[in-house]
A = this chain, B = another copy of it.
Amino acid sequence: MDIIRSIPEMAEISRSLRHNGNVIALVPTMGYFHKGHLCLMDKARKISDKVIVSLFVNPTQFGPKEDLDKYPRDEKRDCALAEKHGVDYIFIPSAEEMYPNGFQTFIEVKNVSLGLCGASRPGHFRGVATVVAKLLNITMPHKAIFGQKDYQQLLVIRRMVNDLNMNVEVVAHPIVREPDGLAMSSRNTYLSPEERDSAISLYSALKLAEHVIKSGENSTDVVADEIRKHIETFPYTKIDYVFIGDPEDLQPIGKTIKGPVLIALAVYVGTTRLIDNAVVTP
């Protein structure tokens, strides 16, 4: 596995790989790999000839009061794990390499960025869309793989790729979970043991909601209330949002659940903000 830090070098490698007929898959990450990331790499390995993983903690998607500085990093361990999972190139640019002096271009995906995490984290998806466009242009992959845990991010990227006619297939990978159901996240390392116990509330709330909907409940308000009440029974939790809406465009669906719905949650457990989601069909 080669470690690449320069944009021109990475672009040249990708150009040459493409020229020689290789199918390239990109797994964009912010590093500090957990099993979720490794599953994306395994998936990439299966559907391509050459796997590129990017590791970049992207400053433009963090708000001024967010956890950019304390975001967990372990490049050495990440490189070892990536190599073990058959990655061919790991692309680790510096912030200066990605955002040189005078940088001033941003991509905004409007509607689908507005609610949910976009409402709680203004500018977040602008940063995500911009950095993903850059990474796609640099690594020129045929396929790019994203986890469904960041469901809204996935929709933002799909929309951007479609709207801007970018030449890449966006591949979604199901959420990878701990044995007890907690969605894998680098931010889970922030949790104290007591908070870790409460972190399960997101997953158990989703399972509860699924059960309630499958049992015939079709009121969005009732289902949302059940979710809220459930989460609030866990200590250290503070709900950011409970969203029940259209899985395609993230618009609210009104009072009645008629078809498949996205249930998306953001919950502070202590000071750590966790997200999780599920698409439920009545």
Using a CB–CB distance below 8 Å, which chain A residues touch chain B?
7, 11, 15, 102-112, 129-130, 133-134, 137-138, 140, 159-160, 163-167, 249
* Minimum CB–CB distance for A263 against chain B, Å: 23
Asked whether A164 lies within 8 Å of B133 as measured between CB atoms, the reply is: yes
Asked whether B111 lies within 8 Å of A137 as measured between CB atoms, the reply is: no
User: In the bound complex, what is the Cα–Cα distance between A129 and B163 (angstroms)?
Assistant: 13
User: In the bound complex, what is the Cα–Cα distance between A134 and B133 (angstroms)?
Assistant: 12
Contact of A104 among B105, B112, B165 (CB under 8 A): B112
Asked whether A107 lies within 8 Å of B110 as measured between CB atoms, the reply is: no
Asked whether A137 lies within 8 Å of B112 as measured between CB atoms, the reply is: no
Contact of A111 among B104, B109, B164 (CB under 8 A): B104
Contact of A108 among B106, B111, B134, B137 (CB under 8 A): B106
Asked whether A104 lies within 8 Å of B163 as measured between CB atoms, the reply is: yes
* Minimum CB–CB distance for A93 against chain B, Å: 10
* Minimum CB–CB distance for A256 against chain B, Å: 23
Asked whether A163 lies within 8 Å of B107 as measured between CB atoms, the reply is: no
User: In the bound complex, what is the Cα–Cα distance between A162 and B137 (angstroms)?
Assistant: 11
* Minimum CB–CB distance for A49 against chain B, Å: 16
Chain B residues whose C-beta falls within 8 Å of the C-beta of A107 in the assembled complex: 105-108, 164
Asked whether A102 lies within 8 Å of B137 as measured between CB atoms, the reply is: no
Chain B residues whose C-beta falls within 8 Å of the C-beta of A11 in the assembled complex: 165, 167
Since A102-B249, A104-B109, A105-B108 are in contact, a sample of 8 more A-B pairs with Cβ atoms closer than 8 Å, ordered by chain A residue number, is A11-B167, A102-B111, A103-B163, A104-B159, A105-B107, A133-B164, A137-B166, A138-B165
Chain B residues whose C-beta falls within 8 Å of the C-beta of A134 in the assembled complex: 163-165
CB-based nearest B residue for A112: B104
User: In the bound complex, what is the Cα–Cα distance between A164 and B107 (angstroms)?
Assistant: 9
Asked whether A137 lies within 8 Å of B110 as measured between CB atoms, the reply is: no
User: In the bound complex, what is the Cα–Cα distance between A129 and B106 (angstroms)?
Assistant: 10
Chain B residues whose C-beta falls within 8 Å of the C-beta of A140 in the assembled complex: 167
CB-based nearest B residue for A139: B165
Chain B residues whose C-beta falls within 8 Å of the C-beta of A159 in the assembled complex: 102, 104-105
* Minimum CB–CB distance for A5 against chain B, Å: 15
CB-CB nearest 5 A-B residue pairs: A105-B163, A104-B110, A137-B165, A105-B109, A138-B165
User: In the bound complex, what is the Cα–Cα distance between A165 and B140 (angstroms)?
Assistant: 10
Chain B residues whose C-beta falls within 8 Å of the C-beta of A138 in the assembled complex: 165
User: In the bound complex, what is the Cα–Cα distance between A77 and B100 (angstroms)?
Assistant: 45
CB-based nearest B residue for A10: B165
User: In the bound complex, what is the Cα–Cα distance between A24 and B251 (angstroms)?
Assistant: 41
* Minimum CB–CB distance for A161 against chain B, Å: 9
CB-based nearest B residue for A103: B163
